[in-house]
Structure 1
Amino acid sequence: MAHDRSPGDVRLFDRFATVYDRFKPATDAATVAPALELAERDVTRVLDVGGGSGQGVRGLDIASSLVVDPAPGMVRRAADRGVAAVRGDGRHLPVRDESVDAVLILDALHHMHDRAAVIEEAARILEPGGVLAVLEFDPTTLPGRALVAGEHLVGFDSQFYTPADLAARVRAAGLRASIPRRGFEYLVAGVKPAESGDTSPPGPNGPA
């Protein structure tokens, strides 16, 4: 079975699943809120791609959520935490077209083998007016360069987008892209337009 993460990264996440939550702080809901607030519909159904132990959705006040992750240990960890989770590939998500209000990819895209395909798949499953929220690290910053070196040292095959490059990729998938948060840990949002072809930024924070 092919996975969106590189095989080496999947093995490492599977190995570290039982201790993952001790070393990786949970993403605060307030960090993702600026992207979710751009949705042009109520956000009640969320899918977290590469969501690991379910940290990203546990703090959200939503009616329905699902984590999709390729590492079986992470899926078990999420289930132990009471989070609905399935093992799967971010390039082939197990949900129908236009069926969720938001897709999250939190601190995970840089581990994925075909990042463009994952973003396109997220766009496929979003309802019109739904939003993609991608939290990533800027490799051009000083701490970003240190993170890149550290992840490669550990054995990850991480590949990082700059904020502008990620926003351009989100726009190429047919979404209206913006960058609500900049810095070492930045946030890119992509809103699925109600009418195809409208990929202008949804607000004043569009990519430079």
Structure 2
Amino acid sequence: MFGHGDVGFFDRIAPLYDAFMPPASAEDLRAGLAFAHRPVERVVDLGGGTGRASRTLQEAGLDPVVFDYSAGMLRRAGEAGLPGVRADAATLPVRDGSLDAVVVTDALHHFPEPEAAIGEVARALAPGGVLVIREFDPTTRRGRALATLESVAGMDSQFFGAERLVGLLGDAGLRGHVVDPGFGYTVVGVKPTRPERGPANGDASEGTASTEERGR
């Protein structure tokens, strides 16, 4: 109903979006970025809209760039002084290995091709880089209600449970971690810094630390 990635809806509500949406959680973003095995400098806020997550990242001393398909949302980000690029999440206009981190805050379920988008992020991340996804779990009561509401509103939303999303990250070659489970959850994918080694050689793989060991 609203076109590619529900872009029509977001173009319409862009002028009012920030009045109704709370800022992105600094704690959630810090917990995810802490999984990086490299300095985090080159950051993309994918599906970043008006820059909710980007403003939080700026407060943490980072200089993110907003990537979004909605021209209306990007216009609002630009008015707030945030750099933006109109881009399809499934075909990112960046070189292989050129990013240290990508954050996707409350947006993955609107991507028309979420698996392709995750694959593109994996391509774009440098070794040791991280993909931090904040999403809503459709297996929870509130998650089911949200999914129903967006469907009734005419959106093409596709929600994933946390473990399912970890599986998609693994399919793309990223090591997935559930950082913060629940209705609103955080999942992190880490790009390996070296080829995986099997258990037969006795080497522990990098980036497989538990939630308790990293990100807190």
Matched residue type, 2:177 = S
Partner of 1:80: 79
RMSD, aligned CA: 1.8
Asked whether the 8 Å contact 1:6–1:113 carries over to 2, the reply is no
Partner of 2:200: none
Judged with a 3 Å threshold, the aligned counterparts in structure 2 of structure 1 residues 183 and 197 are, in CA distance, closer, same or farther, namely same
2:16 to 19, 31, 35: 19
1:59 to 56, 60, 69: 56
Partner of 1:36: 33
Matched residue type, 1:203 = A
Separation of aligned partners in 2, 1:177 and 1:135: 13
Give how far 1:62 is off.
3.7
Partner of 1:149: 148
Asked whether the 8 Å contact 2:192–2:206 carries over to 1, the reply is no
Q: Identify unmatched segments of 5+ residues in structure 1.
A: none
Give how far 1:201 is off.
5.9
Q: Identify unmatched segments of 5+ residues in structure 2.
A: 198-204
Matched residue type, 1:25 = P
User: TM-score by structure 2 length?
Assistant: 0.89
Asked whether the 8 Å contact 1:35–1:189 carries over to 2, the reply is yes
Separation of aligned partners in 2, 1:201 and 1:182: 19
Matched residue type, 1:66 = V
Separation of aligned partners in 2, 1:149 and 1:23: 20
% identical equivalent positions:
45
Per-residue CA distance 1:28-78 (angstroms, 9 max, x = gap)? 211121110010111111101110001101111244311110010011010
Separation of aligned partners in 1, 2:116 and 2:174: 14
2:138 matches 1:132: no
- 1:192-203 correspondence runs (5 A): 192-197=191-196, 202-203=208-209
Asked whether the 8 Å contact 1:176–1:200 carries over to 2, the reply is no
SS of the residue corresponding to residue 27 of structure 1 reads: coil
2:104 matches 1:98: no
Larger CA Rg, structure 1 vs 2:
2
SS of the residue corresponding to residue 53 of structure 2 reads: helix
Asked whether the 8 Å contact 1:177–1:200 carries over to 2, the reply is no
Separation of aligned partners in 2, 1:137 and 1:201: 24
Asked whether the 8 Å contact 1:43–1:62 carries over to 2, the reply is no
Separation of aligned partners in 2, 1:112 and 1:99: 22
Asked whether the 8 Å contact 2:37–2:207 carries over to 1, the reply is no
Per-residue CA distance 1:134-171 (angstroms, 9 max, x = gap)? 11000010110111111112221111011010000001
Partner of 2:119: 120
